Amino acid sequence: MMVDPILLILMAVSFIIGSIPVGLLIARSKGVDLRKTGSRNIGATNVMRAMGKKAALLTLLGDMAKGAIAVGIAKALAMGTLSEGLLGLSAIAGHIFSVFLNFKGGKGVATSLGVLVVFSPFVAIFTMTLWLLVLKWTKYSSLSALVSLGLLPLSVYALDFSVEKMAVAIVITALIFMKHIANIKRLINGTESKIGQKR
């Protein structure tokens, strides 16, 4: 089966969009190097530790926008559900393996949420609500991501099922757990930092 060259090009574009290190750029504009601060992660949680809530919110929205834009491209071109998912996954992969950071990057949570906003809005609402509830209850950013996105396949099955969307959900869940292995170990050991705590 021939692969659509336009799809491949757009996947590459989405990967580059996803690679833009929003948090790093925001921090750098204020003279802060996130890779030498706190958890050394480029995501919103570490931005909050280093620079406060406003900068963290900008980072969160920027990282979400990357995923939303990628899926939005496929939706605008009426490329179909599978292509939407592939472009979304490409943006998430770009965030995790940024071409601008020697193929290192963030953990993909915000970009995944941005993908879901366009790819499956009802699932996005449920996932973000669950994320916020777990975060409010436990104060663990990592645990809220693991619970809300760990349940993503079940959420898709219950709220917006299709084979393509289920496949994308499973891949997102796998990527999130892969990037949170160290966090899982710290949660088990009781050494994971809560929101507001310094590392």
The verdict on residue 153 lying in a domain is yes
Residue among 6, 110, 1, 130 at smallest CA distance from 63: 110
User: Containing domain of residue 39, as a range?
Assistant: 5-189
The verdict on residue 71 lying in a domain is yes
Considering its fold, how many domains does the chain have in total? 1
The verdict on residue 87 lying in a domain is yes
* 189 Cβ neighbours under 8 A, 6+ residues apart: none
Q: What angle do the packed helices 141-150 and 121-138 form, to 10 degrees? A: 150
Instruction: Quick: pLDDT tens for 95-136.
Output: 999 999 999 999 999 999 999 999 999 999 999 999 999 999
The verdict on residue 111 lying in a domain is yes
The verdict on residue 199 lying in a domain is no
CA 134, CA 130: separation in Å to the nearest integer?
6
Backbone conformation region of residue 190, classed left if phi is above 0, alpha if psi is from -120 to 50, else beta: left
* Model pTM score: 0.94
The verdict on residue 196 lying in a domain is no
Residue 48's CB is within 10 A of a number of other CB atoms, namely 21
Instruction: Quick: pLDDT tens for 28-48.
Output: 988 888 878 877 788 898 898
The verdict on residue 195 lying in a domain is no
Considering only the C-alpha atoms of the chain, give the largest distance between any 2 of them, rounded to a whole number of Å.
Answer: 52
Would you state the pLDDT for residue 30? 84
Cα–Cα–Cα angle for 125, 18, 135, rounded to 5 degrees: 40
**Which DSSP letter does residue 36 get?**
G
CB 175 within 8 A of CB 96: yes
Phi, psi dihedral angles at 79 (to 5 degrees) = -85, -10
Instruction: Quick: pLDDT tens for 150-186.
Output: 999 999 999 999 999 999 999 999 999 999 999 999 9
CB 105 within 8 A of CB 19: yes
Would you state the pLDDT for residue 198? 57
Both tokens of residue 126? 């449920």
The verdict on residue 184 lying in a domain is yes
